[in-house]
């Protein structure tokens, strides 16, 4: 990845985030997670060089390879589905698990965290669009399941994450983000152990709408790095 081009892309993204914050009368900051999945390790180094200190990966094997190649230049986010049989292998690799998407996975993560004597920082992934192809807790189940996960030993629930449908229908996108934001606010008010630090919503195709609807963290790949090599 050309560092100069990435710097230009990042500046444009930050301008767009700033405009979205202004449109929604927000004065807080939005964190950017650079999605480096499918890109070579050089993309991670370029991201770190331009000040992007949080990088997201989907697969345990790819994250493991990049950590071995690069050491620890960034904070790693695991943003893809984590298989239960890979939890023990994955725990030392990431700083934040954004895709805690089921009670069964939460139980395994908790058990492995206790075994390792550590605390796993995570976001509970919710399905706010109703798509059967998407993982995550059904947003209609409300605060209860999030409360149960937050009560597990060895798990620190710092917020929620969602993925909107891949569509240009702004109404569908806003509805997905609003439903997630409503659950986030309810969890902050009523779920013990839910710290409510992060609301991870928005990717390259919809991040401005997500910011307008309350996102505090966006996961951006294509808009920063361009299309991945096929």
d(CA 109, CA 83): 10
List the one residue out of 79, 160, 169 whose CA is nearest residue 127.
Answer: 160
Which residues have a Cβ under 8 Å from the Cβ of 53 and sit 6 or more positions away?
74, 75
Predicted structure pTM score: 0.95
193: helix, strand or coil: coil
Residues 24-48: tens digit of each pLDDT: 999 999 999 999 999 999 999 999 9
Residues 94-106: tens digit of each pLDDT: 999 999 999 999 9
List the one residue out of 194, 223, 193 whose CA is nearest residue 206.
Answer: 223
Report how far apart, in Å, the C-alpha atoms of 151 and of each of 102, 106, 110, 147, 185 are: 14, 11, 10, 6, 18
At residue 122, does pLDDT exceed 60?
Answer: yes
Residues 127-175: tens digit of each pLDDT: 999 888 888 999 999 999 999 999 999 999 999 999 999 999 999 999 9
Quick check: 192 and 148 in contact, CB under 8 A? no
Domain 3-225 CATH class label: alpha beta
Q: Is 53 exposed, middle or buried (0-12, 13-18, 19+ CB in 10 A)?
A: middle
* Whole-number percent of the chain with pLDDT over 90: 91
Q: What is the sign, positive or negative, of the torsion defined by CA atoms of 147, 149, 152, 154? A: negative
Residues 165-184: tens digit of each pLDDT: 999 999 999 999 999 999 99
List the one residue out of 10, 17, 52, 15 whose CA is nearest residue 215.
Answer: 17
201-213: average pLDDT? 98
Domain boundaries, the chain: 3-225
Phi, psi torsion values for 196, nearest 5 degrees? 65, 35
């Amino acid at each position: 990845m050309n560092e100069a081009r990435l710097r230009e892309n990042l500046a444009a993204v930050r301008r767009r985030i700033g405009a979205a914050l202004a449109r929604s009368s927000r004065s807080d900051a939005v964190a950017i997670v650079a999605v480096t999945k499918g890109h070579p390790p050089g993309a991670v180094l370029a991201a770190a060089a331009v000040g992007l200190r949080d990088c997201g990966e989907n697969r345990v094997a790819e994250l493991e390879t990049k950590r071995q190649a690069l050491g620890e230049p960034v904070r790693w986010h695991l943003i893809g589905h984590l298989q239960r049989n890979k939890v023990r292998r994955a725990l030392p690799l990431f700083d934040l698990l954004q895709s805690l998407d089921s009670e069964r996975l939460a139980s395994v993560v908790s058990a492995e965290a206790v075994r390792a004597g550590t605390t796993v920082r995570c976001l509970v992934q919710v399905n706010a669009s109703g798509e059967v192809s998407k993982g995550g807790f059904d947003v209609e189940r409300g605060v209860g399941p999030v409360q149960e996960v937050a009560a597990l030993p060895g798990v620190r629930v710092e917020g929620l994450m969602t993925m909107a449908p891949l569509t240009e229908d702004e109404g569908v996108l806003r509805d997905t983000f609003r439903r997630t934001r409503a659950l986030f606010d309810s969890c902050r008010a009523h779920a013990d152990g839910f710290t409510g630090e992060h609301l991870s919503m928005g990717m390259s195709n919809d991040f401005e709408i997500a910011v307008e609807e309350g996102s505090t963290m966006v996961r951006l790949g294509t808009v920063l790095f361009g299309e991945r090599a096929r």
